Amino acid sequence: MSRRLRLAIVLAIAIPLIAAGAAQALPQRTSSGPVLSAGDANDLAQTLADATAIQHVCYGWIVNVNDSSGGPSGTDAGSNKDPNSADPALSCSKYVVLRASVDYTCDSCSSNDSATYSIESNLPNPPTPQDLAKLGEGTSSILSNNNDTALINGVEALPLIVTEKHEARAVSPDLTPKPANSPDHPTGSVSNTGKTVWTIVGAVFLAIGVLWALLEVVRHRRRRRASTGPPAPPGPPAPAAEAS
């Protein structure tokens, strides 16, 4: 077997494995937070990872919830690297993290629900809460019954705003999920384009590797036939033996 043929076979096996390694799955959240379900947080983290792969900017969210009406309270945080924490995003060379504080008052309280947004970033011209408000993703949206959808939409708007401010390359505008069909729960299945893209890339590389290997096999056989040359023509018949 020729050296080129062996190389083609090795690449046909190795390239899909390399592509699969590049699509290594993110850590998964296994329990719901005060805003996002585990599935929605995992999908949001993957969507942000897709944007980061294009823009080389990390994204995340940190939402502190205080619900005096008896609902879930605590901190909901995640990032393009981990749906459980925004800390990995904050360690990137470029990052944008949405911080929010949400207070839900009790039903009998005289005060109203309230929320504040801030953006933590090291970009020269980062997104602002005002930018989110202009897109209809301000603090009023997170105080609605669909606060999880509001958080997802607000976080997914960050890469788009970064693009508009010429801080990074453009990403697909198809980042915002469709409106929720039921209160307080989006769909649990925000489009996971990253996994799909890498699956396609892996399949393409596999097809290329296999095709290359087959071509090398055909070329190898042709070279062997050419090196041996055409079969020798039959020689003249042997003279008949003379009778004694």
Q: What is the mean pLDDT of each run of 10 residues along the chain (244 residues)?
A: 57 52 75 96 96 97 94 96 97 98 86 94 97 94 92 96 95 54 41 45 62 71 67 62 56
pLDDT of residue 188: 42
pLDDT of residue 108: 74
With a threshold of 0.85, does the pTM exceed it? Answer: no
Q: Count CA within 13 A, CB hemisphere, residue 181.
A: 3
Number of H helices, E strands in the chain: 7, 4
Q: Find out whether 55 and 43 touch, Cβ atoms under 8 Å.
A: no
Q: Find out whether 175 and 51 touch, Cβ atoms under 8 Å.
A: yes
Pairing of strands 95-104, 74-79: unpaired
Q: Find out whether 162 and 201 touch, Cβ atoms under 8 Å.
A: no
Pairing of strands 114-121, 95-104: antiparallel
pLDDT of residue 187: 42
Q: Phi and psi of 137, rounded to 5°?
A: -120, 40
pLDDT of residue 69: 86
pLDDT of residue 93: 97
Q: d(Cα 50, Cα 228) in Å, to the nearest integer?
A: 54
